[in-house]
Amino acid sequence: MKKILVSDKLAEDGINYLNEQSGIQVHIQTGLSEDELCGIIGDYDALLIRSDTKVTKKVLQAATNLKVVGRAGIGVDNVDIPAATEQGIIVMNTPDANATTTAELAIAHMFSLSRNLPEASQSVRAGKWERSQLVGAEINHKTFAILGFGTIGRLAAKRAVGLGMRVIAYDPFVTPDIFEECGAQSVDLETLVKEADYLTLHCPMIEKTRGIIGAEQLKMMKKTAMLINCARGGLVDEAALYDALKQGEIAKAALDVYETEPP
């Protein structure tokens, strides 16, 4: 009998599916500290996680029977991949999980920023009526710039094309035909940030992409540009973003993720 540890909250349907399978036992223990996880992980053949559990080298060294780490989601930056590889532990993710949801969220943030929805909501709640001060902007013919052209980036591109936008994207690992299929123009990073009316981030969080949007890139952007990050907090230098917003170097930002969570 194989034993599976679920250490983060998963959808009930997923847990039910696991329980229906023969030859496995499912144990759910969430909110474990690193030491607590190390104390029990040796009993398990598989570990199912989301983003909260940090599968460190220390955890993996204690996982004497572990065969696989399954990530319910896309990013695996919370797993020490080299350490897992060294021990022959397979690390799997679910590339399409939440892809549509995230792409739609990026588009929703774009509409919210463009139409001043947060400011308008606060204004009305305060008993004000500031229609003339909160006039929004149309997105038609604006430039939607995508950093990272994987599954989510491509879905976002198709939606932006459908809204009549010009779509540009940067991803050095994607072939030209993929950009063309999605109606996007492939550009370099500097062109991407300079021409963006809306810059949306959809790349993985690895050492090479940490802080990929920093003070230098923010200074290149239009003063009317808006930044959207629904990927990983560490992709953006948050101190530099704060300064850019305060100094008017860019207009607005919508963040679904932060370098430290909760912020």
- Does a structural domain hold residue 88? yes
Q: Let me know whether 126 and 239 are in one domain.
A: yes
Question: How far, in Å, CA of 35 to CA of 20, rounded?
Answer: 31
Query: Given 28, 61, 92, which residue is the final one in a domain?
Result: 92
Q: In the predicted model, what is the mean pLDDT of residues 211-230?
A: 98
Q: First and final CA of the chain: distance in angstroms?
A: 41
Asked if residue 80 and residue 106 are part of one domain, the reply reads no
Interacting residues of 231 by C-beta distance below 8 A, sequence separation 6+ = 75, 148, 152, 201, 202, 203, 204, 205, 257
Per-residue confidence (pLDDT) for residue 96, from 0 to 100: 82
Is the domain of 110 the same as that of 236? yes
Residues 131 and 231 in one domain: yes
- Looking at residue 75, its pLDDT comes to 85
- What integer is the mean pLDDT of 115-125? 93
- 88's CB contacts (< 8 A; 6+ apart) are none
Say yes or no to pLDDT of 159 above 90: yes
Judgement on whether residues 45 and 129 belong to the same structural domain of the protein: no
Q: Is 189:170 a contact under the CB 8 Å cutoff?
A: yes
pLDDT, averaged across the chain: 96
pLDDT higher than threshold 90 for residue 132: no
| Residue 261 banded pLDDT, cuts 50, 70, 90 | confident
Is there a domain that residue 260 lies in?
Answer: no
SS3 152: helix
In a domain, 21, yes or no: yes
In this structure, the answer to whether residues 151 and 234 fall within a common structural domain is: yes
Which of residues 41, 71, 92 is at a domain's end? 92
263 pLDDT more than 90? no
- Do 9 and 83 fall into the same domain? yes
Q: Enter the pTM of the model.
A: 0.83
Q: How many Å apart are CA 33 and CA 41, to the nearest integer?
A: 12
User: How many structural domains is the chain composed of?
Assistant: 2
Residue 64: what pLDDT?
Answer: 96
Q: What is the pLDDT of residues 83-111, one digit of tens each?
A: 999 999 999 999 888 899 999 999 999 99
Does residue 209 have a pLDDT over 90?
A: yes
User: How confident is the model over 246-257, as a mean pLDDT?
Assistant: 97
Question: Based on the domain organization, do 12 and 117 belong to the same domain?
Answer: no
- Residue-level length of the chain: 263
pLDDT at 226: 98
Q: Which of 92, 113, 144 is the last residue of a domain?
A: 92
In which domain, by residue range, is 57 found?
2-92
> Would you say residue 263 lies in a domain?
no
What is the per-residue pLDDT for 127? 95
pLDDT above 90 as % of the chain: 90
250: domain CATH number? 3.40.50.720
> In the prediction, which pLDDT does 30 show?
97
Tell me, yes or no, whether 142 and 107 share the same domain: yes
Same domain? 39 vs 120: no
168 pLDDT more than 90: yes
Same domain membership, residue 227 and residue 114: yes
- The predicted pLDDT at position 246 comes to 98
Q: Are residues 86 and 103 in the same domain?
A: no
In a domain, 262, yes or no: no
Q: What is the mean pLDDT of residues 216-222?
A: 98
Q: Percentage of residues in the chain with pLDDT exceeding 70? A: 100
For 48-88, what is each residue's pLDDT tens digit?
A: 999 999 999 999 999 999 999 999 988 898 999 999 999 99
